[in-house]
Amino acid sequence: MRTKDYNLELIRMASFVLVIAIHVSNYFCRAYGQISDGEYLFSLVIDTFARVSVPCFFMISGALLLGRDEPLSKHWKRLRRFFLALVVWSVIYYLWNTFYMKSDFDLREIFYVPAEAHLWYLYAMIPIYLTLPFLQVLCRNMSRQFEKAFLIIATAAVLINYILWLFGAELYYDLPLIGDRVYAYYLYLGYYIYKYRDEIRISQKWTAFLCFAGMAVSFGVTYGVTVLEQDHYEGALTYAMPSVILSGAAFFLYVLRVKDGHFQPKEKARQVIDLFGGLSFGIYLIHILFLDNYKKYMEPWDLSAWIAVPGLILTITAVSFVCVYVLRLTKVGRKIT
């Protein structure tokens, strides 16, 4: 049985809070021109910093799952869990948006448009889990030279796809195993960084520098284009943006090497981390209900972003935690969170 890696658990714990930070801060960023410049810049700083979280979620999965030797029954169980969560939460958010938020949604589009935007993560993970057993075999049987070559080719494909996207074009054929999205790439990147974290020749100081340099580029491009177009620009905050990839990978590597990769919290801290880690998936699924409730009654300019953004992040995290903790006391709740 594997010993729990608390460096990875630190990344997981930080990431689920930062995901909430993305959704909260983005609400205020999209109000550019209707809130003060100071409030916009404050929200954008948080939004930009928090963008490391989603890449980290995929990289954690790659670190933990790629290269393993698992029976197909375990893959089926994992896939069934995600599919059940997708169906149940799609129904919940469809009813929520239709009858409470009073927003329209065409059920005929459910196969390619999530009932709530943040459910895209499940849409991305289910195809990955379908191919995971084959990716595991691939990683188990690749030499280090082949692993490095695959990383180089995949990185090049991601960069080319992004450059073409900037010009409104796309590759005629997608690269097999990577495709036209970046998420499978993050899975492999996490596997590679985790496996060779002690051999990657870059100091912690330079790793931190690269992380913040990537964030600075994302922030600068976003703000520059926003001011130029007088409308909040999100293209530089997408997960295929090279600077977001850089900051996410650097953040992942940096935390993996905290305490030389052997972070061992004290017993009480370990219990807290274990508890939060176990509830993180459910918190991700449920937290939009509480953010939507704020949006229903409060516009971004009704309360200063300096107060609202940190206040909402803390409050939504706490309320979501309590709700998921209670849900998981029941058998049904454990199955859908």
Residue of higher predicted confidence among 166 and 180 = 166
Query: What's the average model confidence in pLDDT over 147-165?
Result: 94
Does residue 50 register a pLDDT over 90? yes
- Whether 294 maps to a domain, the answer reads yes
* Burial of 169 (C-beta count, 10 Å sphere; 0-12/13-18/19+): exposed
Q: What is the pLDDT of residue 297?
A: 96
Does residue 2 register a pLDDT over 80? no
- Whether 256 maps to a domain, the answer reads yes
- Whether 109 maps to a domain, the answer reads yes
Q: What is the pLDDT of residue 25?
A: 98
Rounded Cα distance, 6 and 261, in Å = 9
How many domains does the chain contain in total? 1
Residue of higher predicted confidence among 176 and 72 = 72
Query: What's the average model confidence in pLDDT over 117-128?
Result: 94
What is the percent of the chain where pLDDT is above 70? 99
Q: What is the pLDDT of residue 105?
A: 80
Q: Is the pTM of this model over 0.85?
A: yes
Q: What is the pLDDT of residue 243?
A: 98
- Whether 1 maps to a domain, the answer reads no
Query: What's the average model confidence in pLDDT over 20-41?
Result: 97
Does residue 1 register a pLDDT over 60? no
**Long-range CB pairs of 120-128, under 8 A, 24+ apart, other chains included:** 121/54, 121/57, 121/284, 122/82, 122/85, 122/86, 122/89, 123/86, 124/181, 124/183, 125/61, 125/82, 125/183, 126/79, 126/82, 126/83, 126/86, 128/61, 128/183, 128/184, 128/187
Q: What is the pLDDT of residue 285?
A: 96
Q: What is the pLDDT of residue 114?
A: 93
The average confidence (pLDDT) of the chain is 94
What is the percent of the chain where pLDDT is above 90? 86
pLDDT digits (tens, 9 = 90+) for 221-264: 999 999 999 999 999 999 999 999 999 999 999 999 999 888 99
Exposure on the CB side of residue 327, measured as CA atoms within 13 A: 20
- Whether 120 maps to a domain, the answer reads yes
Query: What's the average model confidence in pLDDT over 125-130?
Result: 93
- Structural domain of 216: 6-336
pLDDT digits (tens, 9 = 90+) for 94-103: 999 999 998 8
Q: What is the pLDDT of residue 305?
A: 97
- Whether 328 maps to a domain, the answer reads yes
Q: What is the pLDDT of residue 67?
A: 83
